[in-house]
Chain A
């Protein structure tokens, strides 16, 4: 079974600085999706970025980018020019593409990011 591990329960960053959140996963599959979701105090889960495993190029969305290392099964999120509104819980998630019946997201336990002015 697939697992997702986020080893950093909490992280902090100064406003305008850069921070990297770590995520590792375990799978025997070769094709899958990886996601980062943000959960602000409102608790709604918001998609930050998505990576298809077959793509070698790292995904980027404005100030958010990932470092996808398939062989190492690592999927870190880099937030550049951090803003106060980035403060939230960040969840890494895995989705299998191996079978239609495995259409579910497997989440890590999350990293709480604090942003200081």
Chain B
């Protein structure tokens, strides 16, 4: 069966520091991968999605970026965090653009 992992689970970072969140999927090949952000008390907003290695589509212009160095690895990065980057970040995968399944998430607090 397929499983999805996110690391770290929680993160507290100062403003202006870099960011790297990792998402890995097991048990499937060539999944579609997604990064979502959830602000407090809100629904999810799609940030990036990827249909293959090195292929990244951005939904929202911001100071975040994403990369897919391996088939089942998706990384969310920032060179300099802003206070507004605080939130809950969820990675998701789907097979052939079908139902999306979510990871456990990373709670990011920028101080």
Chain B residue contacts of A107, Cβ below 8 A: 43-45
A105 touches B104 (CB 8 A): no
Q: Which residues from 14 to 57 on chain A have a C-beta closer than 8 Å to any C-beta of chain B?
A: 33, 35, 37, 42-47, 50
Chain A residue contacts of B104, Cβ below 8 A: 42-44
Contact flags (1/0) for B12-51 with A, using CB distance below 8 Å? 0000000000000000000010100010001111100101
Chain B residue contacts of A110, Cβ below 8 A: 42-43
Interface size range on A against B: 20 to 34
Other-chain contact of B97, A35, A42, A103 (Cβ < 8 Å): A103
In the assembled complex, how far is the CB of residue B42 from the closest CB belonging to chain A, in whole angstroms?
A: 6
Other-chain contact of A103, B43, B44, B49, B105 (Cβ < 8 Å): B49
Contact flags (1/0) for B51-68 with A, using CB distance below 8 Å? 100000101000000000
Interface size range on B against A: 20 to 34
Q: A35 vs B45: C-alpha distance in the bound complex, in angstroms?
A: 15
A109 touches B43 (CB 8 A): yes
Q: A108 vs B42: C-alpha distance in the bound complex, in angstroms?
A: 8
Q: A105 vs B98: C-alpha distance in the bound complex, in angstroms?
A: 11
Q: Please judge, given known A-B contacts A100-B97, A103-B32, whether A43 and B44 are in contact too, CB under 8 Å.
A: no
In the assembled complex, how far is the CB of residue A51 from the closest CB belonging to chain B, in whole angstroms?
A: 11
Q: A13 vs B94: C-alpha distance in the bound complex, in angstroms?
A: 33
Asked if A104 CB lies within 8 Å of chain B CBs, one says yes
In the assembled complex, how far is the CB of residue A41 from the closest CB belonging to chain B, in whole angstroms?
A: 12
B34 touches A109 (CB 8 A): no
Return 19 A-B CB contacts under 8 Å, by A number: A37-B102, A42-B104, A43-B88, A43-B104, A43-B105, A43-B107, A44-B102, A44-B103, A45-B44, A45-B90, A45-B102, A50-B99, A91-B44, A101-B57, A103-B51, A103-B97, A105-B44, A107-B43, A107-B44
